A and B are shown apart, each in its own frame.
Chain A
Amino acid sequence: KAGVTQTPRYLIKTRGQQVTLSCSPISGHRSVSWYQQTPGQGLQFLFEYFSETQRNKGNFPGRFSGRQFSNSRSEMNVSTLELGDSALYLCASSLASEAFFGQGTRLTVV
């Protein structure tokens, strides 16, 4: 059974640009959640989607958005990138109690 797949693995963008990250959950999982990991702030919850609906949202500015498709794949978008958005972005998928993460997308903003 394939795990959670995140693409791309690495990304370098310039300040002011926008970026889209993708997450394909484990087959059959309907919940996808996103997290940002930085050395200073640790792991912080961004948002969660379930059956194409945003169910929870963390305390991030509106530049951070996401969506989920009917096949449960999810994308997150960050517009007007800032240097502080440089981070490891992790997504997790869940069917019941447990949550399984992908390998993450490491975003560097220059």
Chain B
Amino acid sequence: EPEVTQTPSHQVTQMGQEVILRCVPISNHLYFYWYRQILGQKVEFLVSFYNNEISEKSEIFDDQFSVERPDGSNFTLKIRSTKLEDSAMYFCASTLPGQGYEQYFGPGTRLTVT
């Protein structure tokens, strides 16, 4: 069964460093999302992406964040200058236009900023 994959599973970085989190959405999906979950808190929406541009973004998704689909398969989230409070699980999701537009999530990348 097709699934969303994410790499790396765990990323440790120092404050102020740039990180790129990678996702490979399900191959025929057209709409992509990033969410994050700080330990012990709710899953929060960051950004959605369609047709090579951002469709929606939350207030969390500030100028430190950017997304890109550099080729036909990868979808990346870049954090330019990480802060301690960026430590969280980051989940990628994708969906295919259809009746319910249900989203399918990847296993996540645990980002630890020290």
Whether A associates with B in a native complex is: no
- Chain B interface (Cβ within 8 Å of chain A)? none
Residues of A whose CB lies within 8 Å of any CB of B are none
